[in-house]
Copies of this chain bind each other. A is one copy, B any other.
């Protein structure tokens, strides 16, 4: 298995491609973490627009440089809107990221909408261990939006999802794993307080979309997003509590320079 970190030139190269493009990234996401997701994309130099307002999903889904769909957006839009955004991205050949928040946590109607999105061939799928295992048909044991398992438990399921759906699959945890079903990359490091900052995972979904907008190599770009998050989290590790950790994480994300 390969490992990647901020030290690798490939990571900084993909990051520089995002910064060169300043991609317009359109997202459907939940309102709990939408603000952080927008701030993450602005911090790295992308231009986010979020939400399902009237005909935004079909228009922005097709005209953005990249799209991300966080399934918990269903708390403020309906199945038709989430599907319209996924369809628009798919038909427009726009790379798009699916974050199947809380899939397998016990809500069958909600889960069915998520599964229906696979028809539109996400470019990448990211989640926590419980979610990726559930998506692959296993018993993920998710509790609400939280995982009850570590990322290594999800690895075989991750490879199954990637192979069966032809997508890049990524799981976050103490170690992150990213795979296209053939090659698997691990990313380590970070800071445990990432799990105490609401939206760390949700905003990573948006950032992955940004990295895919202008990627030279898509698997590397998705892994690079994880490595950049990990680096920013480590640079923020001097924070005294969870509030300032979130602030410093954004600070360091905005300061990370691919040319350094």
For this chain, the copies found in one complex come to 3
Instruction: Tell me, in angstroms, the Cα distance from A39 to B146 when the chains sit together.
Output: 14
- Give which listed residue, B34, B48, B243, B251, contacts A43 with CB less than 8 A: B243
Binds B, one of A4-12, A74-82, A118-126: A74-82
| Contact yes or no, B42 A198, CB < 8 A | yes
Cross-chain contact B144 with A26 (CB below 8 angstroms): yes
- Shortest A69–chain B CB gap in Å is 13
Q: Is A174 an interface residue (CB 8 A)?
A: no
Please tell me if A242 contacts chain B, counting CB pairs below 8 Å: yes
Which one of B33, B42, B239 lies within 8 Å of A195 (CB-CB)? Answer: B42
Total contacting residues, chain A, CB less than 8 A = 68
A137 on interface, CB distance cutoff 8 Å: no
- Taken together as a complex, chains A and B put the C-alpha atoms of A31 and B107 apart, in Å, by 22
A90-120 to B contact mask, C-beta < 8 Å, 1/0:
0000000000001001111110010000000
Assembly CA distance A202 to B59 (angstroms)? 22
Interface residues of A in 151-200 (CB under 8 A from B): 195-199
From B39, B71, B77, B251, give the contact of A75 (CB < 8 A). B77
Docked-complex contact B60 and A246, CB < 8 angstroms? no
Contact pick for A243, options B64, B79, B248, CB 8 Å: B248
Contact with B along A225-260 (1 / 0, CB 8 A): 000000000000001111110111111111100000
Q: Are B252 and A47 in contact (CB under 8 A)?
A: no
Does A63 reach chain B (CB closer than 8 Å)? yes
Nearest-CB residue, chain B, relative to A60: B144
Structural contact, B250 and A143, CB atoms closer than 8 A: no
Contacts of A79 in B (CB 8 A): 54
Find chain B residues with CB under 8 A from A136 CB: none
Nearest CB of B to A85, in Å:
12
- Across the interface, which residues of B come within 8 angstroms of A252, CB to CB? 241
Known contacts A144-B47, A196-B254, A248-B244; A53 and B72 CB within 8 A of each other? yes
- Chain A residues with a Cβ under 8 A of chain B: 24, 26, 30-36, 38-39, 42-43, 47-56, 59-60, 63-64, 71-77, 79, 102, 105-110, 113, 143-146, 195-199, 239-244, 246-255
Given contacts A31-B32, A53-B75, A240-B255, 5 further A-B contacts (CB under 8 A): A30-B51, A30-B53, A32-B51, A33-B38, A47-B143
